[in-house]
């Protein structure tokens, strides 16, 4: 496998500058595959610095696929608490159960089987194949995408579309060290080719970088519009206790414990008390205090003074803290 000059330069830089991350430990092949699976799920929409302590704690309590497939949801969500996007935790456990049952307790080493697993799309499958199995894939995450855009000076809307970027990434070549190379490209974007103020004088591929040649490092961003959604949050309080329910109604925080809520389609004169950003949604929340709890078959009461004793999503805890202050 012949390596291009750009490939060699990036790998040389990586060997000297890579961060010491807990999922990069020199462990057995079997553990590396498990570590990669867990870390990639955690890193979806979450920064590395945030993930590190959660990963360490998770691996300590759930050390392998077998234990992950059998972990109680209560413990799983407690370990995940604070990371958000709890669907990732549910999908991670489902993936472990399917691997144990259908793949002879071994993580699949091919693209088709990997993307058939819950929570694994094209990017995550590519990352697992490259990092865990040393296969010649370049997973196009935000960091690599940024390096690619600047290296080739991609500015036009048609140039920065995902399909085009997936084709253009071949400019980086391939390496027999596929695992290291995928991580090297990610690391280059994270440490050098930063979104703002890239450290160009330390970049190993500066001489061929078209953005550097033009002295134009600004990135064209595709604008994503968050949807505004409106909710009535119903508060039932009795003796310093709040009534909560299991969320089976909304797609966000599915099956987790929240306050009773009602979504409004086109509210008039909506004066919200709270605003949350969740995924691609702006949640505008108006609080309404109520008393009649008879319609709730299985209410769950929590004591505001013992908030830390409960396994709750951070969203619910923030609501409780707001209510305690107001």
Annotated active-site positions, please?
40
Q: Which residue has the tokens 């929570």?
A: 119
Q: Cα dihedral sign for 75, 79, 85, 88?
A: negative
Contacts of 215 by beta carbon, 8 Å cutoff, 6+ apart: none
Three-state SS string across the chain, please? CCCCHHHHHHHHHHHHHCCCCHHHCCCCHHHHHHHHHHHHHHHCCCCHHHHHHHHHHHHHHCCCHHHHHHCCHHHHHHHHCCCCCCHHHHHHHHHHHHHHHHCCCCCCCCHHHHHCCCCCCHHHHHHHHHHHHCCCCCCCCHHHHHHHHHHHCCCCCCCCCHHHHHHHHHHHCCCCCHHHHHHHHHHHHHHCCCCCCCCHHHCCCHHHCHHHHHCCCCCCCCCCCCEEEEEEEEEEEECCEEEEEECCCCCCCCCCEECCEEEECCCCCCCCCEEEEECCEEEEEEEEEECCCCCCCCCEEEEHHHHHHCCCCHHHHHHHHHHHHC
- State how far the Cα of 235 lies from the Cα of 151, in Å rounded to an integer: 53
- State how far the Cα of 129 lies from the Cα of 17, in Å rounded to an integer: 23
Beta strand 281-290 with 227-238 is: parallel
């Amino acid at each position: 496998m012949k390596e291009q000059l750009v490939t060699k330069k990036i790998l040389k830089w990586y060997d000297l500058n890579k961060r010491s991350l807990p999922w990069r430990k020199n462990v057995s092949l079997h553990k590396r595959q498990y570590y990669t699976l867990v870390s990639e799920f955690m890193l979806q929409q979450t920064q590395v610095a945030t993930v590190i302590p959660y990963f360490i704690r998770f691996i300590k309590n759930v050390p392998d696929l077998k234990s992950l497939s059998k972990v109680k949801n209560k413990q799983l969500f407690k370990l995940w608490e604070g990371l958000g996007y709890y669907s990732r935790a549910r999908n991670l456990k489902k993936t472990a159960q399917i691997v144990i049952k259908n793949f002879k307790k071994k993580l699949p080493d091919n693209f088709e089987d990997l993307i058939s697993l819950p929570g694994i799309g094209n990017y995550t499958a590519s990352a697992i194949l490259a990092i865990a199995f040393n296969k010649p894939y370049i997973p196009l995450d935000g960091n690599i995408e940024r390096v690619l855009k600047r290296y080739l000076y991609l500015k036009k809307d048609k140039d920065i579309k995902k399909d085009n970027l997936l084709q253009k990434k071949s400019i980086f070549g391939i390496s027999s060290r596929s695992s290291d190379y995928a991580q090297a490209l990610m690391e280059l974007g994270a440490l050098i080719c930063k979104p703002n103020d890239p450290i160009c004088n330390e970049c190993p591929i500066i001489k061929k970088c078209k953005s550097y040649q033009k002295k134009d490092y600004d990135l064209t961003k595709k604008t994503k519009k968050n949807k505004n959604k409106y909710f009535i949050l119903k508060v039932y309080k009795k003796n310093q206790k709040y009534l909560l329910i299991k969320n089976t109604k909304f797609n966000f925080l599915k099956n987790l414990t929240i306050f009773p809520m009602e979504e409004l389609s086109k509210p008039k004169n909506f004066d919200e008390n709270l605003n949350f950003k969740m995924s691609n949604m702006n949640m505008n929340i108006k609080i309404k205090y109520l008393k009649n709890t008879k319609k709730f078959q299985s209410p769950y009461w929590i004591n505001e003074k013992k908030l830390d004793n409960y396994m709750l999503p951070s969203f619910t805890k923030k609501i409780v803290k707001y209510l305690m202050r107001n």
